């Protein structure tokens, strides 16, 4: 990948000021959400200029949702029950969620089990994008685990997506040993699955728009640490690393370009989530 220069001193000063202003906006938005929803608002890993690494969840790291049998591990969150949020969500067998609309859109990767709604059954490996304004009444007969992102759609991103990653095509990556399955691309934001063969290395590179990773299989590594399956990472804008794998290889979900991007916000629609 091309090497991109780091921002200069003047750019860094603007970057710090922008970060402070964004944090103030986030705090104000949470206060509004708390008032309107009568739900305890949350700022969880809400400073998107900070690197975050969360290891695989333990038994005590799940919180209840509004519906019995549905629990969540909140990875990042800005707001109350209507929120920009990234979570791992578990449905117990025979659990369901009441019908609701996603004012800011919903992105789902089914990690295990079978997730269902009016559109059908979505087994492990299914990637879904439900655009802003769509609604459903989801449930799971046998139970399932999902990776879910809410209110992280850009304006104009209105195309529903359903990909069965068990059968979709893989493409050669930028270096030997990498295979890529594109999932979605819009307005400079890219989402893909990337399979790393054992002992694969990628050259040091910079992510101007940040990078988010969920390790699905194996052991992903870089100069900062080792990340087993179930680890979630968020590397901020202009972060730089040199990732690699050892003898285990790895499969990761990766999204780039979304940190600092202009995304829909809960106050744009006034409802949904």
Query: Tokens 């290891």 sit at which residue?
Result: 55
Confirm if 214 and 197 have CB atoms less than 8 A apart.
no
pLDDT above 70 as % of the chain:
83
Residue 234 lies in a domain: yes
| pLDDT averaged over every residue in the chain | 87
Number of domains, the chain: 1
CB within 8 Å of 262: residues ≥ 6 apart: 154, 155
Q: Determine the structural domain holding residue 190 and report its residue range.
A: 171-256
Confidence of residue 75 (pLDDT cuts 50, 70, 90): very high
CATH number, domain with residue 252: 2.60.120.10
pLDDT at 199: 98
Residue 177 lies in a domain: yes
Lowest-pLDDT range of 17-26, 37-46, 112-121: 17-26
pLDDT above 90 as % of the chain:
78
The whole-model pTM stands at 0.85
Residue 71 lies in a domain: no
Residue 244 lies in a domain: yes
pLDDT at 24: 53
pLDDT in tens, 30-65: 443 333 333 455 899 999 999 999 999 987 889 999
How far apart are the C-alpha atoms of 258 and 209, rounded to whole Å? 6
Rank 18-22, 57-61, 186-190 by mean pLDDT and report only the highest: 186-190
Across residues 118-131, what is the average pLDDT?
97
Residue 195 lies in a domain: yes
How far apart are the C-alpha atoms of 174 and 254, rounded to whole Å? 15
Residue 147 lies in a domain: no
Residue 228 lies in a domain: yes
Residue 246 lies in a domain: yes
């Amino acid at each position: 990948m091309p090497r991109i220069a780091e921002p200069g001193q003047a750019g860094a000063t603007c970057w710090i000021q922008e970060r402070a202003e964004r944090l103030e906006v986030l705090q104000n938005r949470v206060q509004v959400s708390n008032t309107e929803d009568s739900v305890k608002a949350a700022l969880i890993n809400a400073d998107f200029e900070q690197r975050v690494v969360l290891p695989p969840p333990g038994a005590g790291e799940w919180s209840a949702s509004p519906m019995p049998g549905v629990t969540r591990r909140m990875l990042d969150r800005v707001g109350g029950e209507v929120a920009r949020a990234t979570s791992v969500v578990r449905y117990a067998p025979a659990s369901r969620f009441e019908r609701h609309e996603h004012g800011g859109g919903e992105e789902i990767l089914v990690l295990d089990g079978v997730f269902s709604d009016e559109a059908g059954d979505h087994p492990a490996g299914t990637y879904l994008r439900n655009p802003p304004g769509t609604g459903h009444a989801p449930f799971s007969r046998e139970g399932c685990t999902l990776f879910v992102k809410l209110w992280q759609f850009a304006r104009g991103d209105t195309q529903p997506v359903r990909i069965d990653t068990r059968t979709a095509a893989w493409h050669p990556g930028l270096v030997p040993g990498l295979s890529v399955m594109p999932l979605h691309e819009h307005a400079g934001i890219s989402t893909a699955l990337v399979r790393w063969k054992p002992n694969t290395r990628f050259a040091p590179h910079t992510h101007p728009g940040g990078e988010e990773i969920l390790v699905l299989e194996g052991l992903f590594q870089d100069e900062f640490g080792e990340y087993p399956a179930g680890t979630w990472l968020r590397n901020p804008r202009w972060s730089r690393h040199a990732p690699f794998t050892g003898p285990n290889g790895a499969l990761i979900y990766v999204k780039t370009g979304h940190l600092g991007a202009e995304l829909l916000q809960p106050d744009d629609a006034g409802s949904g989530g």
